Chain A
Amino acid sequence: MGDIVKQPGRLRPAPENFLSEEQVKAVGSGRRDFLRKSFLVAGAALAAPKLVRAAEGDPNILENPAWTTSLGLPVATNPYGMPSKFESQLLRRESPGLARVGGASVSFAPLQGLFGIITPSGLHFERHHQGWHDIDPSKHRLMVNGSDDSLLKKAKVYTLDELMRLPSVSRIHFIECGANTGLEWGNVAVPTVQYTHGMLSCSEFTGVPLKVLLEDCGVDYKKARYVLAEGADGSSMTRTIPMEMVESGEVFVAYGQNGEMLRPENGYPLRLVVPGVQGVSWVKWLRRIEVGDKPYATKDEAVHYIDLLPSGQHRQYSSIQEAKSVITTPSGGQTLLDKGFFNVSGLAWSGRGRIKQVDVSFDGGINWKTARIEGPVQNKALTRFNVDWVWDGSPAILQSRAMDETGFVQPTYGQLRKVRGTKSIYHNNAIQSWKVIESGEVSNVQVL
């Protein structure tokens, strides 16, 4: 009974969005007076009016709200539907101080509030090197040529009209920036999963296997062992991709994303999809493919996206995003409402294939419990995991550890730093830890 007095709503006051005692009183003195009075008569045994009101139940149930007692809006009020006005908090955001100019910066996806594995297109993370444009698809061209004539029988030009006539594939893949979690190599630096892991998204992409185009141009696979992909924006981003990946059929030229065309910020009208490889290779606003017999050492594979080792050497052409996972609920910068049951939920992914197992620890990695994986598990795609947890109110450290189908297990910070030091910037796939304290506040910590 005492519990109910304290807890209208679910029957308990939470920090927000539940009625306070005062609000409940206000409701009680309004239209519901009639109800309350009749209840009083019926239940004369109840002592205090406060208890009476609570005992009646939740005003959200007892009082039909406006949406139940009036006419709603007609179809096509929003010809392109938008999220509820109550969903204004989950936005892609920049990390202050990370970049100096917005045109060469990153915005992070709000992983802390997303469900399942598909990132809503409007919340897909952004990384631009020279700003973004909304390109007129009728003026966009894709050229395929060779670094020299002997590598390709015929250099060709394709329009969107033509590309969209070709046999297409639709596949779900994650895309992760090579620098995701890069701020955290040395120490904890940012408060929430949005900023630690938010250069990560997953979509269903639709397009034409690059192999189809290269073969249509008469590629000589014997000589042409590399592909250069180039964008149409000011930076004309260029990246080298191995022909083995193209031949496997995995790499494709995409125009579709989650059932509609790509978003401008994600490369409209054409981008490359290179599953399992860091985002920079998924060249946006793709305008040209060159087949070549040598790698290209472009700016973003010779000055950036190179991993500094303690020896002073940089790893060049490091491209694969190795197995990684993170708990998104609860995560840093959040506060648990209460003791009791929680569905702990997170994401796992691997650039080497499918996720096979995810284990979760609540004691900083001493003991582990295998999480439920939500299937079907896709190749090189985000994979959602869930695990039951009853929080008893004492401090805890939550971690998740992914294993992929190759048997590779996500490393600890200690293991990763031992081989790569702390200045690598790229490819940090260490196990993430979230510390929970008695107040329920969750914060970012690193366990070695």
Chain B
Amino acid sequence: MFRFSKTILVFALFSASTAAFAFDKYQGVGRPATPAEVKAWDIDVRPDFKGLPKGSGSVERGNEVFEEKCASCHGSFGESNEVFTPLAGGTTKDDIKTGNVKGLSSGELPQRTTFTKVATISTVFDYIQRAMPWTAPKSLKADEVYAILAYLLNLQEIVPADFTLSDKNIADVQKLLPNRNGMTTDHGMWPGAPAKKGGIGNGGKPDTANKVCMKNCKPEVQIGSTLPDYARTAHGELRDQNRSFGPVRGTQTLGPEAAKKAADAGTLDLATKSGCMACHGMKSKIVGPGYSEVVARYKDQTDAESRLIAKVKAGGQGVWGSIPMPPNGHLKDEDITTLVKWILSGSK
């Protein structure tokens, strides 16, 4: 086994690598990270708040930042289901008392929001700091993260409207999370040491115990569920998702014409009905750019779709010239999404 203190000693004396196991064994490979480098990348925050940056932010400030940087996707109250499942809602005062969200077991929750699940506030801090806003991750200052989190906690009625969240009181807030007692690690699916040896879980004991039986294993076959009709066609023409030779064929679910019509004409119809074709040509500019010009401009931009959806919805000017596109807020969001996807895929 590796002896830590001894190796350090040798290392200090000769300032060269020793081979207690393989420390610094590979000459010319790797170099020490500088403190500034570690600081730049080591941003994780653990449930014991190790890694938490100092700072604070009020509910009020959080409301402003959220409205400016988050609401377009998550809704002003974290309620939106448009881009992702809702962040807020679904918990009660009673849940805050018990630390178990009752809706999870009663089946009353229509949808699990972030706060119906999360048991550790560090998780939300860490995630917003590292990954949000989605299109500009790591752009928030620590105080902004505190403020946004304070606002979300207030929406959840965990803290009052005049609350200021900080590195000093975040551990107290942790004790109020509505689902703080909602996690169990009593299962066999952790691949490391079990709880009784300081790890997690029951040491790999499975929770089902099927047996290998070969003959007359049951009296009858009980069908629990079959494919609903809508699901048979919801994934497009299955015939075209299989080889056209071999022992089987893809089942024809739509028929070639129906499939093409459904996809193409449907969207062109929608574009015409939605008024887009008044200002946009397939290829060339009318008032706004031609669709193929749009495709060319955003060709390699992976986030183009979400940005253009937002743009079409809100309208705007300045990308193609000074003539503005009017907002299209009257259209259904899913229609705008369909239209933008269709435009970006070549309007075919």
Contact = CB atoms under 8 A, between A and B. Distances in A.
Interface of A: 14-17, 86-87, 89-91, 93, 95-97, 100-104, 110, 112-113, 129-133, 143-145, 147-148, 153-158, 162-163, 165-166, 187-192, 194-195, 212-213, 215-218, 220-222, 225-226, 228, 230, 234-236, 238, 241-245, 276-277, 287-288, 290, 292, 294-299, 302-303, 306-320, 322, 329-330, 332-337, 342-343, 351-352, 357, 359, 363-370, 397, 401, 403, 408-416, 419-420, 427, 435, 441-448
B251 interface: yes
Interface in B101-122: 101-102, 104-106, 112, 114, 117-120, 122
B169 interface: no
B243 A90 contact: yes
Main secondary structure of the interface of B (DSSP, over half): loop
B204 interface: yes
B44 interface: yes
Interface string B210-236: 111111111011111111100110111
B22 interface: yes
A302 B206 contact: no
Nearest to B100: A312
Given A312-B182, A412-B210, A443-B226, A165 B249 contact: no
A156 B32 contact: yes
11 contacts: A91-B241, A100-B82, A103-B134, A166-B26, A236-B43, A288-B41, A319-B191, A333-B235, A410-B210, A420-B207, A443-B227
A166 B8 CA distance: 24
Contacts of A245: 191-192
Contacts of A336: 247-248
B250 interface: yes
Nearest to A332: B227
B14 interface: no
A342 B247 CA distance: 7
A314 B184 contact: yes
Given A16-B244, A244-B193, A225 B42 contact: no
Interface stretch (B59-67, B124-132, B270-278): B124-132
Contacts of B122: 297
A81 to B, nearest CB: 19
B16 interface: no
B344 to A, nearest CB: 10
B251 A334 contact: yes
Given A16-B249, A93-B241, A235-B131, A315 B30 contact: no
A287 B194 CA distance: 28
B214 A191 contact: no
Given A101-B84, A215-B25, A416-B208, 13 more contacts: A93-B241, A100-B82, A103-B306, A147-B46, A157-B30, A216-B22, A228-B44, A242-B199, A244-B192, A277-B191, A302-B118, A319-B190, A334-B248
Contacts of B302: 103, 131-133
B28 interface: yes
A151 to B, nearest CB: 11
Contacts, number: 384
Contacts of A370: 214
B189 A215 contact: no
B223 A290 contact: no
Nearest to B102: A312
B44 A290 contact: yes
Given A218-B7, A313-B183, A319-B189, A435 B226 contact: yes
Contacts of A409: 209-212
Contacts of B306: 101-103
Given A364-B221, A408-B206, A290 B42 contact: yes
Contacts of A230: 41, 44
Contacts of B106: 312
B257 to A, nearest CB: 16
Q: Which range contains the number of B residues in contact with the other chain? A: 35 or more
A123 B201 CA distance: 35
B130 to A, nearest CB: 5
Contacts of A294: 46-48, 50
A320 B24 contact: no
Given A234-B137, A312-B100, A447 B221 contact: yes
B29 A166 contact: yes
Most chain A beta-carbon neighbours within 10 Å: one of B33, B37, B198: B33
A43 to B, nearest CB: 31
A216 B29 contact: yes
Contacts of A369: 214
A229 to B, nearest CB: 11
B305 interface: yes
A103 B53 CA distance: 29
Given A287-B41, A314-B184, A244 B191 contact: yes
B189 to A, nearest CB: 4
Given A102-B305, A242-B192, A155 B253 contact: no
B244 to A, nearest CB: 5
Nearest to B240: A89
Contacts of A221: 2
Contact of A191 (B4, B105, B137, B232): B232
Given A87-B243, A130-B134, A191-B231, A312 B222 contact: no
B101 A312 contact: yes
B207 A419 contact: yes
A236 B24 CA distance: 28
A15 B303 contact: no
B298 interface: no
A188 B23 CA distance: 53
Contact of A365 (B83, B193, B217, B245): B217
A322 B206 contact: yes
A162 B29 contact: yes
Contacts of A343: 247
B238 interface: yes
B11 to A, nearest CB: 8
Contacts of A287: 41
A159 B223 CA distance: 55
B123 A298 contact: yes
Given A225-B198, A235-B137, A319-B189, A411 B210 contact: yes
B185 interface: yes
A94 to B, nearest CB: 9
Nearest to B123: A302
Contacts of B226: 188, 435, 443-446
A281 to B, nearest CB: 9
A98 to B, nearest CB: 10
B214 to A, nearest CB: 5
Contact of A130 (B8, B137, B186, B190): B137
A128 to B, nearest CB: 9
A217 B2 CA distance: 13
A441 B112 CA distance: 37
